Structure 1
Amino acid sequence: MRRKHAISFVLVVGLVAGLALFSVHATRRPDSVSSATVPAPAISGINPPSGPVGSPVTLTGTNFNETQATNTVTFNGKAATSYTTWAPTQVICAVPSGATSGPVLVHAAGGDSNAVDFTVTVPPEPPPEPTSEPTPTWYLAEGTTDWGFQTRISIQNPNEEPVIARVTYMTGDGPVGRPDITLPPLSQTTLFPADDLGARDFSTRVTCLEGETIAVDRTMTWTGGGASSPESHSSVGVTSPDDTWYLAEGSSDWGFECWLLVQNPNGSEAHLTLTYMIEGAGPATFDKVVPPNSRATFNMAQDIGEADASIRVVSDVPVIPERAMYRNNRREGHDSIGTTTPATDYYLAEGTTDWGFTTYVLVQNPDSEPAEVTVTYMTADFGPQPQPPVTMPANSRMTINVNNVLPGHDLSTQVHGSRPIIAERAMYWDNGTGEACHDSVGMPSPHTTFYLPDGQTSDGWETWTLVQNPNTVSVAIDLYYLPENGGASLTLSDTLQPNSRKSYSMAEKLPVGRASVMVTSRTAGRKIMCERAMYSNSRGSGTDTIGGFAD
């Protein structure tokens, strides 16, 4: 190898007897090598700190390098082989097969990082196959890709085999089909009706051709005139039409628009009787008609003016209604299905009077006799908080501002009536971009397993699953995230204390992506309640809904 040397010269010049004299002194510099030091990687956080083989783990820190290349992450010495993100400050990888509990390290160009502890857990049992009567068909009364709205439909396949879904849109011009969709096992599939319909108002029917259980919900997003943030609302569908429906919430007062959307999936006209149970004023009745295989929209204000009212829909053929409400030039809005089942108990899993939220519980008494109503709030810190009973007149509606009763708490609600009633809950908040809201009808009974089709942690979305334990004993649950387009389910297990509720963030298991949610009770004979809340635009937008269920 050729070696380079540095040589210095000293030149001495003089004259001796007319001759020029000079001398050269050469100095040889020793070999030297200069290189920049690459800093070692450093881990500052690991999320989650435990999980089963195959589950995603997010490492945050510094000096991880721009790309993975030959860099690795090891779990107690076992190298990860599946990476979804490798960036200088974040790595997302899957717990490798054969990993055991112990230190996790990042090995990069600068050397080895500090170690952080990780516990490899035994995964919960696989998601249970639906065992009760299948629910292969779902109806969504609301839906539009016109008027500035975007609509997406989420379809959940909780089965271990692929199934085929057939989608039919019911428009003002009649039914419109599209190609059938294959749903992978244990998956979420997302459908955008604008791709099929363009700009249109519509209702939707989704059917599993194999007759197996699926679950379907719909999310709509828009931006009101002059609003600084988009808003959204969401609702699960219903599994069958019926001739009588109840919707506890409804208002054309306080600046609200209130719209009743009615889907008629029959080949003949539907003749409706709408009864508005007006708070403080009694019932008012109106007749309506919906053409065959179509959907119709009715404006509450055109019938009763400015008022708060619950709604009863009675039809001569089975139909499906939903109710949508908007306020502040459509800066905010919420939507919910109704129920066919008045009951002496109703459960609402979501609710908070903390974190800047205001929560209202709406109660409808559709009976011809007065009902004594008792509301019990279930909190994580104080347990059940029953309230004094209130007597509701026949055919009436009651509004409860929960913040005036139990401020500063996360809570679930149980509403008990001496006669069958219906309960719904609406929540309002303002993140600084204008007031936003969401709403959901309750359920008349808890169930063993819940299916919540939508769910997302990408593009600025948060997803929370709210689980209520209405039992007097602790209940063990398993929660599963079923990824978009299928793949390995992400799971967690937990225990809920008696008469309490807990919230679970999807981001703790799926930092970025989309997935459906399934929650099941593992305690024999003990059932639960579930809802899903989603927020986007730094909580400038939010949705909430109940889900499908099985026992």
Structure 2
Amino acid sequence: PLGPAPPAGPAPPPAGPGRLGIFSTVAEWRRSARSEGLQIINNADGELRLADGASSGVFESEVISATFGLNAVGALWRADVPPGTSLTLEIRGGPSATDLGEWRPLAGGDARPQDDGETQALEAALPLPAGTSFLQLRAIFEATARNASPLLSDIRLSYIAAGGPERAAGLERVPAPFGPATLTPPPEIIPRLSWGGNLPSALKPARQTPRGIVLHQIGDDTLEAPLPYLRALAAYQTQVLGWEDIPYHFIVDREGTVFEGRVGGPNAAVPRLSGGDPVIHVALIGASAPPAAQLAALQGLLAWLGQAYDIAPLGQHSATLSGTSVVVPNIAAHSDLVPDSADPSSQLRELMPELRRRVDQTTVRSRWYFAEGNVFDFAQRLAVLNPGADPANVRFILLRQPGPAVVREATVSGGGRVDLVINNVFSDTTDVPSIIEANAPVVAERFMTFGNDMTANAGVSQPSRVWYFAEGSTEETNRTFLLLFNPQSQEVSASITYMRDNGTTASDTVRIPPFTRRVVVVGDRLPNAGFGTRVIATQPIVAERTMIFGPGSTENSGGVHTAPGVSQLSRRWYFAEGTTQPPFRMSILVLNPNAQNANVAVTFLTQDGTSLTRRYAIPPTTRLAIDVNEVVPELGVATTVEADRPVAAERALYWRDNAAGTANAGAVAPAYTWRFADGRTSGEFQEYLLLSNPNRNSQARVTGDFGLANGTRGPKRVGLAGGSASRL
């Protein structure tokens, strides 16, 4: 009903949107509480414009009563605003005719109802204060040009009274199920059906390949019940505007909760907004600067979207707007594409450059895991190399147990390296797995000293459900430990199978809580044995092996080596390092975890290009240990292992009467580029680079580019004959 507010008792709200007020005819424009500087003309059955000679005017409707509580209002209007004029539409509401609150703008942009391209519309329903059942409309006309006036033909208000749960607490949250797997974690979102946004029937949205992301702001800063508002928003846009679905792919509330929006996810096209530019639309609830929680959630959402859909946060793309090709930021404000749009707020627009920078820094473009970590018995250092030309932002996440996690951040210059000595952060725990994340591709290694020995390894770049180790021993003074790190948010179970040299097996099972590692002391289950190992987990984990050995060794002294497992078996393995010259003892360990025999050819390459091949048959679920000193005594060698079925292979070297050693898996293929984060020739350190060219018929020209601590480069070039090995 339109007219003065009658006294009335409460009435139940309607099920969906309804029409609350229409201002179109001469009679309707005349029913106003205030009309100054305006005139009503009979064109199109009634239009409102400035009176002759007036430069400003105001129209205020009578108070409109809904007789039931509202939580949002929508508006459609037809107006003509010539240059030199302006038209401002406002609305206010409250629980009584004398308590209507502040005037709030009804701002247009590029929103239009489905079947009427001339009528302007409020893009998103405007939330109303709790208990609102009275509304009032105001139109402000202004002109600076002589004899010019804006013209308002009609305006239609629609009420929405959406109920249901008000808060998101307790609703199901799931990782966003869209796009490919990414290093940047997908946000936890509340699915559409969980928040009550009924799915449109038989909707098959057109598909798009998004090239950018557009930010909107909807609602206001005082909205305390986001769920009823979201339901009202969906009802307004689909039932009043007639759109096939809401246009926002995601909506973020003031507390940082992310809601699923448009059906079909980011690949669902939105032809209604931003000129149909193929972009992902993200709406923030609010009308000013986002609070910290909302901004943090937005950064995470944008970082994930950028990586999942190949949208560079600092990049640009071309868009066609009103028939003109323009270049816009990949992360843009709605007003960047539609200058007439009233959203987002000026505060958010001012934040856009900093937001893009933060999103770029938040994007995880490389991640490295280290299951081994012990700063009580070891001196431990993490080294990160940035091979790119631009600086990289690096986060060291030290998951000390018991917690809490400790985070350190650093910027690594292009071509530079940064070290973090964990013992300088804390040194009171034997249990500190770690994760390194960076917003650029980096290489990460861990360096540990233990008594008179040391060990260095690259991290693991991808957790896996399955891991293999070819080396393992609990014979004599040898102690073997498996370190199983669970980076998941739920508990993981892992089954371990030990495969002895004689073909017999033993098994074990462990449970690993979230973000925790388990240390398996193999000697407790498998004493006095040489063995290989297979680990199968219910979810991807990170697995490493640490061995302590040598005369007089204990759990915190002696020789040591650590190594990650291999997550993929291979028919070929390559080893550049190897020597049987005194005082070294060398072994090649090959694990056949298959149910069939594996036939293996092991070829040893020397520095002068000669080679020797030995062949072996490995029974099922058996490890083969080859004493290389007996095959090629007193030689520096590289090694190639070839098998007729996938196997795991490692090379072990021991010296100083078994008081020092190293063991690592080989490479599954040669490569043109190899990078090492750690390197040192100062003090008592002596470093070697071991090179192998398994391509028998072609020479390799090798350039070693050493990034020195003083920022200079130290290149070294060598030639490597086909089928030969070299030590630098």
TM range (shorter): 0.5 to 0.7
* 1:406 counterpart letter in structure 2: V
Structure 1 residues 466 and 135: CA distance shift in structure 2, 3 A: farther
Task: Tell me if the contact between 2:503 and 2:620 (Cα under 8 Å) persists in the aligned partners.
Answer: no
1:375 aligned residue: 602
Query: For residue 453 of structure 1, what is the amino acid of its counterpart?
Result: A
- Deviation, structure 1 residue 246: 0.5
Identify which of 702, 715, 720 aligns with 1:496.
Answer: 720
Q: What is the 5 A alignment of 1:154-173?
A: 154-173=383-402
Is 2:624 the partner of 1:394? no
Aligned positions of 1:205-244 closer than 5 A:
205-208=435-438, 210=439, 212-223=440-451, 230-244=452-466
Corresponding residue for residue 338 of structure 1: 565
Q: Is the 8 A contact 1:247 1:311 kept in 2?
A: yes
Equivalent positions of 1:118-517 (< 5 A) are: 136-147=366-377, 149-174=378-403, 176-200=405-429, 201-208=431-438, 210=439, 212-223=440-451, 230-327=452-549, 328=551, 329=553, 330-387=557-614, 389-430=615-656, 435-472=659-696, 473-484=698-709, 487-504=711-728
The CA distance in 1 between the partners of 2:708 and 2:583, in whole Å, is: 32
How much does 1:501 deviate?
1.2
Q: Give CA deviations for 1:292-335 in whole Å, capped at 9, x if unaligned.
A: 11111000111112211101111011101110111231321111
**Distance in structure 1 (CA, Å) of the matches to 2:400 and 2:490:** 15
Q: Distance in 1 between matches of 2:365 and 2:600?
A: 32
Q: CA RMSD in A?
A: 1.5
The answer as to whether partners of 1:343 and 1:422 remain within 8 angstroms in 2 is yes
- After TM superposition, the structure 1 = structure 2 runs for residues 46-65 of structure 1, keeping only pairs within 5 Å, are none
Is the contact between residue 203 and residue 295 of structure 1 (CA under 8 Å) also seen in structure 2? yes
The higher-RCO structure (CA 8 Å, 6+ apart) is 1
Paired amino acid for 1:287: T
Give the whole-Å Cα distance in 1 for the aligned partners of 2:437 and 2:476. Answer: 39
Do the aligned residues in 2 keep the contact of 1:135 with 1:239 (CA within 8 Å)? Answer: no
For 2:589, give the aligned amino acid: L
On the 8 A contact 1:245/1:312 being kept in 2, the answer is yes
Shift of 1:174: 4.1
SS in 2 for 1:391: strand
Structure 2 distance, partners of 1:233, 1:175, is 27
CA contact (8 A) 2:473 2:480 kept: yes
Aligned residues of 1:250 and 1:308 also touching (Cα < 8 A) = yes
Q: Distance in 1 between matches of 2:524 and 2:582?
A: 36
Confirm or deny: 8 A CA contact 2:609 2:725 kept in the other structure: no
Residues 151 and 192, structure 1, Cα contact 8 Å, conserved in 2: yes
Q: Is the 8 A contact 1:471 1:498 kept in 2?
A: yes
Aligned to 1:129: none
CA contact (8 A) 1:142 1:203 kept: yes
User: What secondary structure, in the 3-state scheme, does the structure 1 residue paired with 2:629 have?
Assistant: helix
Per-residue Cα deviation, 1:98-136 (whole angstroms, up to 9, x for no partner): xxxxxxxxxxxxxxxxxxxxxxxxxxxxxxxxxxxx961
Name the counterpart of 1:514: none
- Code of the residue aligned with 1:254 in structure 2: it is E
* Bigger helix share: 2
Shift of 1:265: 0.8
Gaps of at least 5 residues in structure 2 are 1-363
8 Å contact from structure 1 (residues 178, 196) kept in 2: no
Deviations 1:350-378 (A, max 9, x none): 00011421111111111111100110001
What are the equivalent positions in structure 2 for 1:24-63 lying under 5 Å apart? none
What SS class does the counterpart of residue 454 from structure 1 fall into?
A: coil
C-alpha separation in 2, matches of 1:197 and 1:289: 27
In structure 2, the CA distance between the partners of 1:236 and 1:502, relative to structure 1 (3 Å rule), is same
**TM-score, normalization: structure 1?**
0.63
Q: Give the fraction of aligned pairs with identical amino acids, expressed as a percent.
A: 27
| Matched residue count | 358
Whether contact under 8 Å (1:359, 1:428) holds in the other structure is yes
Mapped contact 1:175–1:294 kept (Cα < 8 A): no
Task: Write the distance in 2 (CA, Å) between the matches of 1:297 and 1:336.
Answer: 14
Which structure has the greater CA radius of gyration? 2
Name the CA shift for 1:276/1:466 in 2 (closer, same or farther; >3 Å): same
Q: For residue 449 of structure 1, give the secondary structure of its aligned residue in structure 2.
A: coil
Deviations 1:22-66 (A, max 9, x none): xxxxxxxxxxxxxxxxxxxxxxxxxxxxxxxxxxxxxxxxxxxxx
How many angstroms apart in 2 are the aligned matches of 1:271 and 1:217?
27
List per-residue Cα deviations over 1:191-234 (Å, max 9, x = no partner): 111222332221110011x2x211111111122xxxxxx11112
Q: 1:31 corresponds to which residue?
A: none
Q: Return the offset for 1:173.
A: 2.3
Tell me, yes or no, if the aligned pair for 2:609 and 2:723 is still in contact at 8 Å: no
CA deviation profile, 1:358-408 (whole Å, cap 9, x unmatched): 111111111111100110001112522111x21101111010110000011
Question: How far off is 1:442 after superposition?
Answer: 0.9
Query: Larger deviation: 487-496 or 136-145?
Result: 487-496
CA contact (8 A) 1:138 1:239 kept: yes
**4+ runs of 1 displaced by more than 4 Å?**
none
Task: Give the structure 2 partner of residue 45 of structure 1.
Answer: none
Unaligned 5+ segments in structure 1 are: 1-133, 224-229, 505-551
Match of 2:428, SS state, is coil
Question: What is the distance in 1 between the residues matched to 2:461 and 2:423?
Answer: 23
Contact 1:188 1:483 in 2 (8 A): no
- Matched-pair contact (CA < 8 Å) for 2:447–2:454: yes
Distance in structure 2 (CA, Å) of the matches to 1:237 and 1:204:
10
Asked if the contact 1:243–1:315 (Cα under 8 Å) also holds between the matched residues in 2, the reply is: yes
Determine if contact 2:400/2:406 at 8 Å carries over to the other structure.
no
Q: Note the alpha carbon deviations across 1:469-488, whole angstroms, 9 max, x for none.
A: 1112111111111123x622
Q: 1:171 and 1:396 mapped to 2: Cα distance?
A: 36
SS in 2 for 1:302: helix
1:55-134 → structure 2 map (5 Å cutoff): none
Residue by residue, what CA displacement relative to the aligned partner does 1:509-547 show, whole Å, maximum 9, x if unpaired? xxxxxxxxxxxxxxxxxxxxxxxxxxxxxxxxxxxxxxx
> Relative to 1, partners in 2 of residues 1:282 and 1:135: Cα closer, same or farther, differing over 3 Å?
farther
